[in-house]
Structure 1
Amino acid sequence: MAASDALVVLYSRSTCPLCDDARATVERVCRDVGATWTEILIDDSPSLIAAFGEYVPVVEVGGVQQGFWHIDSQRLRRAVERSQPGG
């Protein structure tokens, strides 16, 4: 799924334990509320590495950054619910 098609975007790196935790959180929250999400690995993109650096994982909802490093599931859920139609 393209980032532009997903409500939630997780920016991560391939060898990142915090990213593994964030992926599980995003997956669970999006499944629970029926939202689409996608993951973008920044490893091979100089522009994304410049943008996010060591702040990964980064989660955006509707193009707005909602958190980095440790993703709070309740905050993410509220942001997703507000961003969905009728929310």
Structure 2
Amino acid sequence: MSRAGCSACVRAQEQLAQILADYDLRLAVVDVDQLAEQGDPLPRAEFGDRLPVIVLNGVEHGYWEVDEKRLRADLDALR
């Protein structure tokens, strides 16, 4: 979960893209403000004050920073 103009979101996206490449996965970025403009305000209400939020398999995995060690362990467990 992300939003335009969020420098922490940009850093997280860059870090996530590098990590996910090791697993042959690609990052999907969801802009909570765009969703709200399209009629779905719930993600912005839920995540808007904690961006960036990392979601793995539909479950919140973390926010504000990427915990690389934990993320890699969880991705390894999914293999």
- TM bracket (short chain): 0.7 to 0.9
2:20 is equivalent to residue 30 of structure 1:
yes
Query: Identity over aligned residues, as a percent?
Result: 28
Provide the TM-score with structure 2 as the length reference. Answer: 0.82
Count of residue correspondences: 74
Higher strand share: 1
Alignment of 1:1-87 (within 5 A): 11-44=1-34, 45=36, 46-83=41-78, 87=79
2:62 alignment partner, SS class = strand
Paired with 1:73 and 1:28, the residues of 2 have a C-alpha distance of 10
Provide the TM-score with structure 1 as the length reference. Answer: 0.76
Structure 1 residue 73, shift from structure 2 partner: 1.5
Q: Which structure carries more relative contact order (alpha carbon 8 Å, separation 6+)? A: 1
After TM superposition, which residue ranges in structure 1, 4 or more long, deviate above 3 angstroms? none
Deviates more, 1:44-53 or 1:23-32: 44-53
Q: CA RMSD in A?
A: 1.3
Instruction: Report what 1:5 is aligned to.
Output: none
Structure 1 residue 70, shift from structure 2 partner: 0.9
| Higher-Rg member (1/2) | 2
Paired with 1:76 and 1:22, the residues of 2 have a C-alpha distance of 12
The one-letter amino acid of 2:2's match is: S
Stretches of structure 1 that go unaligned for 5 or more consecutive residues are 1-10
